[in-house]
């Protein structure tokens, strides 16, 4: 059984340590835990992880956040993965810093990457793992905040949550979304 784990972020040195790139951080942590690395392919960097008889195609789109749907659509088709085995890992300003929530479906909540995915795939019926980055910004400064660099005190909170996010991804592929949500959401 094959899954597509699409971890969102922006490519380029200037975005590496920004809040908007937490999806890339989760992808890197998962790859590190499985002693694998990413190779650059069409519209994304990818790696393959084997877990409990499942194959996880983990991608970091190289299309920039706001065009993530292009990469996800390509990789779903290329790998012949049904949409019910897609998990999108995304930053979320509506969640407190370090909070992790898995959802079966939903809207874009103002997130341009999710919006593009929904528009490109023609559905919002796909799972997502939302990683809370907090909302500590003045009104009208959202873009500066999400594209801003982490404070050391924030990294102290985020760092251990990367391991939990990786666990949640593996759980999603092994026992399904319902049981994963029950086990992790709200913890």
DSSP string, 1-37: -EEEEEE----SGGGTTBGGGHHHHHHHHHHHHTT--
H and E: helices and strands count for the chain = 6, 7
Distances (CA, A) of 89 to 27, 116, 140: 9, 14, 25
**Side-chain-facing half-sphere of 111: CA atoms under 13 Å:** 30
Whether residue 78 lies in the annotated active site? no
Task: Determine which one of 20, 34, 51, 111 is catalytic.
Answer: 20
> Strand pairing partners for 51?
54
DSSP-derived letter for residue 141 is: -
> Strand pairing partners for 87?
5, 127
Determine the distance from the C-alpha atom of residue 69 to the mean position of all C-alpha atoms in its chain, rounded to a whole number. Answer: 13
Q: Which residues are catalytic?
A: 20
């Amino acid at each position: 059984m094959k899954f597509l784990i699409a971890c969102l972020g922006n490519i380029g040195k200037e975005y590496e340590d920004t809040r908007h790139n937490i999806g890339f951080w989760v992808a890197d942590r998962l790859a590190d835990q499985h002693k694998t690395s990413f190779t650059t392919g069409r519209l994304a960097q990818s790696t393959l992880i084997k877990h409990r008889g499942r194959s996880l195609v983990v991608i970091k789109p190289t299309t920039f956040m706001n065009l993530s749907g292009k990469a996800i659509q390509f990789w779903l088709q290329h790998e012949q993965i049904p949409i019910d085995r897609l998990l999108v890992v995304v930053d979320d300003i509506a969640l407190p810093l370090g909070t992790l929530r898995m959802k079966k479906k939903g809207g874009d909540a103002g997130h341009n990457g999710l919006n593009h995915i929904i528009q490109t795939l023609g559905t919002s019926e796909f799972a997502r793992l939302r990683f809370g980055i907090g909302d500590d910004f003045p009104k009208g400064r959202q873009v500066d905040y999400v594209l801003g660099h982490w404070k050391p005190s924030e990294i102290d909170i985020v760092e251990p949550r990367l391991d939990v996010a990786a666990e949640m991804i593996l759980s999603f592929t092994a026992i399904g979304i319902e049981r994963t949500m029950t086990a992790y959401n709200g913890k």
